[in-house]
Structure 1
Amino acid sequence: MILGVRTVVGTEAFAEWGWRIPFLLSIVLLGVSVWIRMQLSESPLFQEMKSQGKLSKAPITESFFSRNGRIVLLALLGATAGQAVVWYAGQFYAMYFLTQSLKVDATTTWLLIGGALMIGTPFFVFFGWLSDKIGRKKIVMAGCLIAALTYFPLFKGLTHFANPAIAEASERAPAVVVADPDTCSFQFDPVGKKQFTSSCDIATAALAKAGVPYTVEEAPAGTVATVRIGDAEIQSYEATGLATAEVKERTGEFTTGLMPVLDEAGYPRTADDARINKPMVLLILTILVLYVTMVYGPIAAWLVELFPTKIRYTSMSLPYHIGNGWFGGFLPTISFALVAATGNIYYGLWYPIAIALMTFVVGSLFLRETYKVDITQ
């Protein structure tokens, strides 16, 4: 939808006002969802319990402040947290990595991501069906483990097939930030309001946004950070105490001075379309989407079967929404902060890998298989 609107109205118009159109068109989906909801009735189990007067009188207390609360916590850490980061890494972070780190044109990226989603979408149904045969837990745990073990080679493969010039330039003219390490922050900014004003932060953020791998070389305390690209050097600046307008102006000047040096060293501002191996990029993206289908296809049934009927809806809502909203939703900002802190464009993968491995361990050890559970109890 975004790609279609952007193509019709043009890039400039889309950035100015056209981005609102997809949001307005979502009113159609709202109407469809309301219609679907009006056609549904409560499950027979719920209706039976209601007629018998067996509904929970305190669902929140019974869900979270009883023995059931342990299952809620285990479902969060041992199921939905890993599902969320695998989903976000395979779809949203892959898109971010291609456009921001590898500088692939947005249209090309969206088409490739869209193609991978079209190929992979039927596997949501397949893995849901398979979980009815062999179990939910096995498939979700396998998805988390395989994703954690293969993210590094897959994302390095994206670099190799989408923009190999980055690796070539980094080997030929490595980027180094010479700075007092105590002034280099962990740039975690989930709401986009925090300002990082040290010369080290300004330099590392500029390089991270340019998709340039770098290392940090220790300098004496009080040193204003310098970026060294091969034999060339560009000095950063200290923004502490400066007005917002001045910071914006000085940052623009710093970036303007940095980009020609990166150009000279061979760091590409955009990926060369002629060098993008689109079939291989599509294959890697499809594999990432398949991981998503493995963890997501069975998750709804697994959560339903983990909890008793009278508190099921309340109990499963917290692990599902916290898992996806927090563990998944923070993935882009945490991963960017990790990249900016280290200069390694792959370092952001450690966040989804760590969470997926945590889920694999917790889910494997402490959550039960449920596909043969009688949910009428």
Structure 2
Amino acid sequence: MNTMVDAAAAGAETRAHGDPSASDIRLVIAASSAGTIFEWYDFFIYGTLASIIGKAFFPADNETLQLLLVWAGFAVGFGFRPLGAILFGYWGDKLGRKYTFLVTVTLMGIATAGVGLIPSAASIGMAAPLIIIFLRILQGLALGGEYGGAAIYVAEHAPPDKRGYYTGYIQASVVGGFVLSVIVVLACRFLIPPDVFADWGWRLPFILSLALLAVSLYMRLKLNESPVFKAMSAAGEIAGNPFVESFTYPGNKKRIVVALFGVTGGLTTIWYTAFFSSLSFLKGPMRVDETTAEIVVGIAGLISMGFFVLFGKLSDRIGRKKPIIWGDILTLLLLFPLFWGLGHYANPGLAEAARRAPVTVSGRDCAYDPFASEQPTNCGKLLSELTTLGVSYKLKSGNDLQLAIGPRTYKPDAADALSWTDKAARTATLKAWLEGAGYDFAKQNPPLGSLLMIGGLLLALGALSGLTYASVAALLTEMFPPRIRYSSMSIPYHIGAGYLGGFLPLIASYIIAKTGDAYSGLWYTWAVVLVALVVGWWGLKGGPPREFEDDA
């Protein structure tokens, strides 16, 4: 019955108002995409400036702990996205698509500007990280309502045979937000002296969000309500409780499970690995100069935006399922080789040193806790130093603490004593040992040929993300009934993106810290994508795109 009402409502709207004009579609895409770029910029600027934020708001003697605390704050915002999806999905299905995502973009802009105005922990102590966490929660709530609103708004204006193409611009806008955050940071680094940028200049990209908010609101206020929602409203068929109906509508439980584990889980981990993990990998263990890494990742991201529009358009011809399944399979096959290639071209000397002089640590109580501000054992302190330096190591059992670097063995508790009370002295001694074996800890500026190869590998990662992400707005719109579409698609999307994707930097960093292997964090992405492949293959419909229809 509900399906008939939904179809009748959509048909009534088409008969009454006709298809949107070309100029209407251009305005809808431009305004929705611009707002999405700005909102994701607000969310990603935190991750782009992770190292500086750690020093300002999460001071710790353990640099690995400091980074983990920053990524924990990043994850908190993602953790609240499902709640935002429930809250704003409810109002989006009750009050309309347009006004709901006007509220979300306003909330995001204000919360982001707040991050740039909060005094550092050195000034106000523990209040600083607590306020930052609160602002991240507000950002997560806002983002939980933004994506569903923008995606549905464009999809409900688009003709069925161009829905993947038009919504591909929304998907590309997510990458656009990341690219904009990188561009703004690079511009600030260029215009502001390094010491000034580290002191207070890093706050400017956050405060800039107020200007972006003004532009976004101006554009979105010119939009009309979605024709599908207007038709349902005119027919008096607005859902009574969209959240409850999302779980009681026939067949919706299965659709939500498939959307969560078969679609969102894979696409979001691939996306964050392609863009965030690659940037952290280059700037962290590969020691590429920060500006160089941001430029090459930013350019690759900018070019990669075209993949999202291209593959979205392709899905209009061959269906939504095929590109997603292809992307999952190719990711499982290529993820590790692509990152091995990044490591080879970014810092070939490190890979050669690790091959020629592998590091092995042995001894009793060789346990390392990345969340401890101070390791309780000498072996733990040694592992902490190696992790901070980005040096891969292997552990083996033994009675006395020993550090083997290639053919040479050191006894840090005896003849080759390290200072266990002076961290700076301990780091300097350990670096000298490693440098003597060929390890180079200087900032890397790869030659042009290597940078081009790195860019090509990043584009390959961007293409994998485009395959799995480009058609998702169209797919999720078609999977769920119009009367509860905002809630039904937002809930699984933001649970997947919020927990499986948002916690990726934290989980991957923890795995790397525990194993001493700069590539080991990729196993998290690989496992989630494998689950997505199995569930997507089972639960997604093949064939050409189609309007929603009951299949329970």
**Scaled by the length of structure 2, what TM-score is found?**
0.61
* Counterpart selection for 2:428 from 256, 267, 270: 256
Q: What is the match of residue 243 of structure 1?
A: none
Q: What is the match of residue 78 of structure 1?
A: 262
Q: Work out whether residues 318 and 543 of structure 2, in 8 Å CA contact, stay in contact via their aligned partners in 1.
A: no
Going from structure 1 to structure 2, the CA distance change for 1:181 and 1:81 (only over 3 Å counts) comes to: farther
* Counterpart selection for 1:131 from 315, 318, 324: 315
Deviation of 1:84 after TM superposition, in Å, equals: 0.4
* Mean Cα deviation higher: 13-22 or 258-267: 258-267
1:197 aligns with 2:381: no
Deviation of 1:182 after TM superposition, in Å, equals: 6.9
CA distance in 2, matches of 1:327, 1:250: 39
**Equivalent residues in 2 for 1:180-219, closer than 5 Å:** 180=364, 183-185=367-369, 187=370, 195=373, 197-199=375-377, 200-219=379-398
Going from structure 1 to structure 2, the CA distance change for 1:250 and 1:81 (only over 3 Å counts) comes to: farther
Going from structure 1 to structure 2, the CA distance change for 1:145 and 1:205 (only over 3 Å counts) comes to: farther
* Counterpart selection for 1:159 from 336, 343, 353: 343
Query: What SS does structure 2 have at the residue aligned with 1:118?
Result: helix
**Equivalent residues in 2 for 1:1-377, closer than 5 Å:** 1-64=184-247, 67-180=251-364, 183-185=367-369, 187=370, 195=373, 197-199=375-377, 200-220=379-399, 226-230=402-406, 231-233=408-410, 235=412, 250-273=422-445, 277-369=450-542, 372-375=545-548
The RMSD of aligned alpha carbons is: 2.3
Q: Work out whether residues 102 and 270 of structure 1, in 8 Å CA contact, stay in contact via their aligned partners in 2.
A: no
Going from structure 1 to structure 2, the CA distance change for 1:69 and 1:212 (only over 3 Å counts) comes to: same
Q: Work out whether residues 234 and 258 of structure 1, in 8 Å CA contact, stay in contact via their aligned partners in 2.
A: no
CA distance in 1, matches of 2:342, 2:502: 23
CA distance in 2, matches of 1:20, 1:272: 27
Q: Work out whether residues 320 and 545 of structure 2, in 8 Å CA contact, stay in contact via their aligned partners in 1.
A: no
Higher relative contact order (CA 8 A, sep 6+): 1
Q: Work out whether residues 320 and 475 of structure 2, in 8 Å CA contact, stay in contact via their aligned partners in 1.
A: yes
Q: Work out whether residues 283 and 290 of structure 2, in 8 Å CA contact, stay in contact via their aligned partners in 1.
A: yes
Query: What SS does structure 1 have at the residue aligned with 2:325?
Result: helix
Deviation of 1:371 after TM superposition, in Å, equals: 5.1
Letter aligned with residue 233 of structure 1? Y
Which deviations, in whole Å up to 9, do the C-alpha atoms of 1:307-350 show, x marking residues without a partner?
10111101111122222222112112211222222222211111
Deviation of 1:275 after TM superposition, in Å, equals: 5.4
Q: What is the match of residue 239 of structure 1?
A: none
Letter aligned with residue 534 of structure 2? V
CA distance in 1, matches of 2:480, 2:543: 10
Q: Work out whether residues 99 and 105 of structure 1, in 8 Å CA contact, stay in contact via their aligned partners in 2.
A: yes
Deviation of 1:226 after TM superposition, in Å, equals: 4.7
Which deviations, in whole Å up to 9, do the C-alpha atoms of 1:108-154 show, x marking residues without a partner?
11111122122221121111111111111211221122112101111
Letter aligned with residue 355 of structure 2? E
Query: What SS does structure 2 have at the residue aligned with 1:138?
Result: helix
Query: What SS does structure 1 have at the residue aligned with 2:541?
Result: coil
Q: Work out whether residues 262 and 532 of structure 2, in 8 Å CA contact, stay in contact via their aligned partners in 1.
A: yes
Going from structure 1 to structure 2, the CA distance change for 1:275 and 1:372 (only over 3 Å counts) comes to: closer
Q: Work out whether residues 287 and 444 of structure 2, in 8 Å CA contact, stay in contact via their aligned partners in 1.
A: no
Q: What is the match of residue 179 of structure 2?
A: none
Deviation of 1:255 after TM superposition, in Å, equals: 2.0
Letter aligned with residue 439 of structure 2? Y
Which deviations, in whole Å up to 9, do the C-alpha atoms of 1:217-244 show, x marking residues without a partner?
1234xx6x554323253648xxxxxxxx
| More helix, by proportion | 2
CA distance in 1, matches of 2:200, 2:382: 32
CA distance in 1, matches of 2:530, 2:486: 27
* Mean Cα deviation higher: 65-74 or 95-104: 65-74
Deviation of 1:43 after TM superposition, in Å, equals: 1.8
Which consecutive residues of structure 1, in runs of 5 or more, have no partner in the other structure?
237-246
* Mean Cα deviation higher: 89-98 or 227-236: 227-236
Letter aligned with residue 256 of structure 1? A
Q: Work out whether residues 305 and 371 of structure 1, in 8 Å CA contact, stay in contact via their aligned partners in 2.
A: no
CA distance in 1, matches of 2:363, 2:543: 54
CA distance in 2, matches of 1:329, 1:375: 29
Query: What SS does structure 1 have at the residue aligned with 2:278?
Result: helix
Q: What is the match of residue 115 of structure 2?
A: none
Deviation of 1:181 after TM superposition, in Å, equals: 6.2
Deviation of 1:376 after TM superposition, in Å, equals: 8.4
Letter aligned with residue 233 of structure 2? K
Query: What SS does structure 2 have at the residue aligned with 1:183?
Result: coil
Going from structure 1 to structure 2, the CA distance change for 1:152 and 1:51 (only over 3 Å counts) comes to: same
Q: What is the match of residue 240 of structure 1?
A: none
Which deviations, in whole Å up to 9, do the C-alpha atoms of 1:168-206 show, x marking residues without a partner?
111222111224467344x4x6xxxx5462434433332
Deviation of 1:105 after TM superposition, in Å, equals: 0.5
Q: Percent identity?
A: 37
Deviation of 1:58 after TM superposition, in Å, equals: 1.4
Query: What SS does structure 2 have at the residue aligned with 1:216?
Result: strand
Q: Work out whether residues 335 and 351 of structure 1, in 8 Å CA contact, stay in contact via their aligned partners in 2.
A: yes
Query: What SS does structure 2 have at the residue aligned with 1:266?
Result: coil
